[in-house]
């Protein structure tokens, strides 16, 4: 049996890597490395839940680790990778509202915000330090994923932002409460949503939303080109 | 039990894959809607509510009522969709190959919404609500036009992103119940029974998160940004978006707010509701004022109405809730009539823009009158049922603060002004004798101004039916409806 304290230490180190991966998704310009970062992030999540299983011995955690590994480390990245090859965009250079530096500063603010928020909310809830930090990291990851969806232009990066948000929600779920089994079902549902989204992308969408708005207006495919 | 329902419906949908002819596919969709209508009515009339079947299926007055509204919307939308999609295919905007997908998503939307409404478990409700988002997005992107993909993606991203926050709220609720009961639960009924023993701060936090998610689904500002795009692009199904998706969001908020009513944090929660409601109304009213796109005008009007509904719920008195519930029903009736009429005008002019509409009374007199009457109804003029609903909600809002009443009233007047402004400008354009067939005005793009678009009966009848039903409800308030609404008010713990 491995010493639980040692495992906790490892988990804390993994937390730091999770945050770094979230920051990379916010700021990286190459689509391939955003995807790789997401894969690594999901892998970290699987590792965290596996380590927690070693500490707690709850079989749900092991299931979750396996499911995360299968779906988010292997299946989804593989699928997105194929679509990226199909649409032939390599980089997501443009940012809509926020430049990466601003978003990174903002995400530091978000981490602090989720820390203060959770320490107020969970003040009367006896959570151990590790679990409290896990919850904070989870919430920050969710908010940073939202930032990605908000600031990136390409739809694929937005989708990856959504997925990373979902990683954050899962993380919070692991640390705040004993996982209800429904969560596993939810992951499958999210998979469906993703598959749907990306298949739509593969069919028609090969440029960012704003760009083809402009294209449409020129082409007038749809009569009565829209006023915004 | 929900499993059985889904299995039965799955078989039904598999049946849906067989037919080749449009008529048959449409008949199946209509049949599906009518079946649900019949089941809902039977349940309302015969069952001794609330009833529970198995661990997850739960029927009470509220979810049956919301289901009734939803199904009514579908019953009207199904025949309408036939005429609309046919003319879309004639113009080459809809690929006939996609027709099957359209009807599949159409039916699936009704099934998932029903499953969402009747599941007692919050997590199940969440999943099915997410699935309705997917189905609705399919309906939006079904046209080959890329702007639709744009609108659909925006819709999915905003609503699903916000729904993840709702999920955070669910995690909090689960933790709360685990602490109070020893074992975590997400069942509405169990949560309702034990809500008073939950910690108010955490309950408020979970409410706030859930509110973000379902608020986005209902189109509450500032999460409403998907709504105008989706309404403007969706082929005829925008009527369902208003009838179903938005009410589903409101339903979630209503249930979660009912949890908080018994705790100490009720005042803060009702403040959140009222503030979000007021903000939605204000934002919508100002966006409507200079709106030149008819469907966007109607979309923003939906945001405005959701805001008013939230205020009605947030006031927290039984009377306000009673009228807010009534409001949910009549809003859908009138809004669908408006959207159907707008769809007919879109077929006529190939555009939703104000400046493209000319000779409306000559070309589409019925749609024009539906729009006029519908606008009168939607801004809350007397013979129509939105008038008493708005009137009583406003009256009750004075209990919170007279300034709130005043502000809402002014904004409602603004919205009414926006409607009349639009209608006056759009409908007063008449081609003069001798002006010639080729217009010289800017924005004159379509060639077929002279020949009226033949409105199929399947499109005309639902439009008139919804408006007539609304008018009827305005003139006569049926006793069973009153009993039903009062039962809901009691069930939600408003005394």
Q: Where do we find the tokens 């997501």?
A: A92
Rounded to 5 degrees, φ, ψ at B436 are 95, 165
**Could you give the number of structural domains in chain A?**
1
CA B93 to chain centre: 25
How far apart CA A65 and CA B191 sit, in angstroms, is 30
B59-79: buried (b, 16+ CB within 10 Å) or exposed (e) per residue?
A: bbbbbbbbbbbbbbbbbbbbb
Name beta bridge partners: B121: B187
> How much is the pLDDT for B278?
93
Is the pTM higher than 0.90? The answer reads no
Q: Where do we find the tokens 């009414």?
A: B416
> How much is the pLDDT for A212?
46
CA distances from B376 to A99, B185, B364, B391 (A): 47, 46, 18, 15
Is A227 domain-assigned? no
Contact at CB, B171 and A186, closer than 8 angstroms: no
CA A4 to chain centre: 28
Contact at CB, A125 and B205, closer than 8 angstroms: no
All residues of chain A having their beta carbon less than 8 Å from the beta carbon of residue B134 are 192-193, 196
Summarize the confidence of residues A178-201 as an average pLDDT.
62
How far apart CA A31 and CA A37 sit, in angstroms, is 10
> How much is the pLDDT for A209?
47
Name the residue in chain B with its Cα closest to that of A177: B175
- Is the complex ipTM more than 0.85? no
All residues of chain B having their beta carbon less than 8 Å from the beta carbon of residue A83 are none
- Pairing mode, strands B57-59 and B51-53: antiparallel
Contact at CB, A221 and B146, closer than 8 angstroms: yes
Between A133 and A200, the more confident residue is: A133
**In this structure, how many other beta carbons lie within 10 angstroms of the beta carbon of residue B146?**
21
How far apart CA B493 and CA B255 sit, in angstroms, is 10
Instruction: Give the tokens for residue B407.
Output: 């502000």
Is A134 domain-assigned? yes
All residues of chain B having their beta carbon less than 8 Å from the beta carbon of residue A189 are 127, 130-131
How far apart CA B310 and CA B254 sit, in angstroms, is 9
B195 neighbors B45 (Cβ within 8 angstroms):
no
Question: By three-state DSSP, how is residue B402 classified?
Answer: helix
State the count of interchain CB pairs (< 8 A) between A and B.
Answer: 122
Name the residue among B262, B258, B387, B393 with its Cα closest to residue B319.
Answer: B393
Q: Does A121 touch chain B (CB under 8 A)?
A: yes
Is A195 domain-assigned? yes
Question: By three-state DSSP, how is residue A201 classified?
Answer: helix
How far apart CA B134 and CA B122 sit, in angstroms, is 19
How far apart CA B147 and CA B249 sit, in angstroms, is 25
Kindly report whether the peptide bond that precedes residue B288 is cis, defined as omega within 30 degrees of 0. Answer: no
Is A22 domain-assigned? yes
All residues of chain A having their beta carbon less than 8 Å from the beta carbon of residue B184 are 177-178, 180
How far apart CA B234 and CA A80 sit, in angstroms, is 27
> How much is the pLDDT for B235?
66
Length of chain B: 495
Name the residue among B302, B209, B195 with its Cα closest to residue B252.
Answer: B209
Q: Where do we find the tokens 């189109």?
A: B219
Within 138-197 of A, beta carbons closer than 8 Å to B belong to 139, 142, 146, 149, 155, 158, 162, 165-166, 169, 172-173, 176-178, 180, 182, 185-186, 189-190, 192-193, 196-197
The secondary structure of B418-447 as a DSSP string is HHHHHHHHHHT--PPTTS-SS--STT---S
B160 neighbors A163 (Cβ within 8 angstroms):
no
> How much is the pLDDT for B355?
77
Name beta bridge partners: A30: A91
Q: Which residues of chain B have pLDDT under 50?
A: 436-448
Burial of A5 per CB tally in 10 Å (0-12, 13-18, 19+): exposed
All residues of chain B having their beta carbon less than 8 Å from the beta carbon of residue A209 are 150, 153-154
Within 12-41 of A, beta carbons closer than 8 Å to B belong to none
> How much is the pLDDT for B11?
78
How far apart CA A115 and CA A136 sit, in angstroms, is 6
Contact at CB, B146 and A226, closer than 8 angstroms: no
Contact at CB, A162 and B160, closer than 8 angstroms: yes
Q: Does A221 touch chain B (CB under 8 A)?
A: yes
> How much is the pLDDT for B322?
92
pLDDT tens, position by position, B43-64? 888 888 788 887 778 888 888 9
Range of the domain at A112: 4-219
Give the DSSP H or E segment for B58: strand B57-59
Question: By three-state DSSP, how is residue B379 classified?
Answer: coil
Is A228 domain-assigned? no
Contact at CB, B353 and A146, closer than 8 angstroms: no
A100 neighbors A121 (Cβ within 8 angstroms):
no
Q: Tell me, what DSSP letter sits at residue B244? A: I
CA distances from A168 to A45, A66, B21, B106, B161 (A): 9, 17, 46, 32, 12
The Cβ-side half-sphere exposure at B141, using a 13 Å CA radius, reads 24
Name the residue among B99, B134, B131 with its Cα closest to residue B114.
Answer: B131
């Amino acid at each position: 049996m491995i010493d639980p304290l040692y495992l906790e230490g490892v988990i804390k180190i993994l937390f730091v890597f999770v945050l770094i991966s979230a920051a990379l998704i916010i700021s990286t310009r190459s689509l391939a490395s955003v995807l790789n970062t997401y894969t690594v992030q999901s892998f970290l999540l699987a590792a965290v839940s596996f380590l927690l299983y070693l500490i707690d011995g709850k079989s749900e955690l092991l299931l979750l680790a396996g499911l995360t590994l299968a779906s988010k480390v292997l299946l989804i990245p593989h699928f997105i990778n194929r679509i990226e090859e199909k649409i032939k965009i390599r980089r997501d250079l443009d940012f809509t509202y926020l430049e990466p530096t601003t978003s990174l500063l903002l995400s530091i603010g978000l981490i602090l915000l989720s820390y203060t928020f959770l320490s107020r909310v969970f003040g009367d809830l006896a959570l151990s330090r590790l679990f409290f930090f896990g919850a904070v990291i989870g919430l920050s990851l969710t908010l940073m994923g939202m930032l990605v969806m908000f600031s990136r232009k390409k739809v694929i990066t937005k989708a990856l932002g959504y997925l990373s948000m979902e990683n954050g929600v899962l993380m919070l779920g692991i640390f705040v409460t004993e996982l209800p089994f429904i969560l596993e079902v939810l992951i499958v549902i999210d998979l469906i949503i993703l598959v749907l989204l990306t298949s739509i992308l593969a069919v028609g969408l090969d440029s960012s939303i704003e760009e083809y708005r402009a294209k449409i207006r020129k082409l007038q495919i749809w009569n009565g080109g829209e006023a915004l | 039990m929900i499993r059985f329902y889904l299995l039965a419906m799955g078989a039904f949908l598999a049946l849906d894959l067989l037919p080749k002819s449009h008529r048959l596919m449409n008949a199946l969709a209509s049949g599906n809607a009518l079946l649900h209508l019949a089941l809902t009515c039977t349940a309302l009339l015969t069952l001794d509510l609330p009833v529970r079947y198995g661990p997850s299926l739960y029927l009470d007055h509220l979810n049956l009522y919301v289901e009734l509204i939803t199904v009514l919307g579908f019953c009207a939308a199904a025949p309408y969709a036939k005429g609309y999609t046919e003319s879309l295919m004639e113009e080459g905007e809809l690929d006939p190959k996609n027709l099957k997908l359209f009807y599949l998503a159409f039916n699936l939307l009704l099934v998932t919404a029903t499953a969402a409404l009747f599941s007692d478990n919050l997590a199940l409700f969440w999943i099915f609500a997410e699935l309705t988002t997917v189905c609705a997005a399919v309906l939006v992107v079904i046209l080959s036009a890329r702007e639709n993909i744009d609108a659909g993606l925006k819709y999915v991203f905003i609503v699903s992103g916000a729904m993840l926050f709702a999920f955070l709220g669910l995690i909090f609720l689960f933790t709360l119940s685990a602490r109070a009961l020893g074992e975590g639960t997400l069942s509405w009924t169990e949560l309702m029974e034990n809500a008073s023993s939950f910690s108010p701060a955490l309950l408020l936090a979970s409410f706030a998160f859930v509110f973000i998610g379902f608020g986005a689904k209902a189109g509450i500002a500032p999460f409403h940004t998907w709504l105008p795009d989706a309404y403007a692009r969706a082929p005829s199904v925008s009527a369902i978006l208003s009838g179903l998706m938005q009410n589903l969001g409101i339903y979630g908020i209503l249930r979660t707010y009912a949890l908080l009513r018994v705790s100490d944090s009720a005042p803060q929660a009702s403040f959140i509701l009222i503030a979000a409601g007021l903000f939605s109304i204000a934002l919508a009213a100002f966006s409507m004022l200079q709106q030149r796109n008819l469907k966007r005008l109607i979309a923003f009007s939906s945001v405005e109405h959701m805001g008013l509904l939230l205020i009605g719920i947030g006031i927290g008195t039984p009377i306000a809730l009673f009228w807010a519930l009534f409001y949910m029903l009549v809003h859908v009736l009138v809004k669908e009539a408006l959207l159907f009429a707008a769809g007919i005008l879109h077929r006529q002019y190939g555009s939703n823009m104000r400046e493209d509409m000319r000779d409306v009374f000559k070309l589409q007199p019925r749609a024009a009158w539906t729009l006029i009457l519908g606008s009168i109804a939607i801004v809350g003029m007397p013979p129509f049922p939105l008038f008493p609903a708005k009137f009583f909600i406003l009256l009750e809002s004075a209990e919170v603060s007279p300034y709130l009443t005043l502000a809402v009233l002014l904004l409602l007047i603004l919205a009414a002004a926006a409607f009349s402004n639009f209608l006056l400008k759009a409908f007063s354009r008449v081609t003069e004798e001798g002006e010639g067939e080729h217009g010289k005005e800017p924005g004159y793009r379509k060639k077929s101004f002279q020949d009226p678009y033949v409105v199929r009966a399947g499109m005309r009848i639902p439009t008139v039916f919804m408006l007539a039903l609304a008018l009827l409800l305005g003139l006569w308030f049926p006793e069973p409806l009153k009993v039903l609404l009062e039962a809901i008010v009691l069930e939600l713990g408003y005394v």
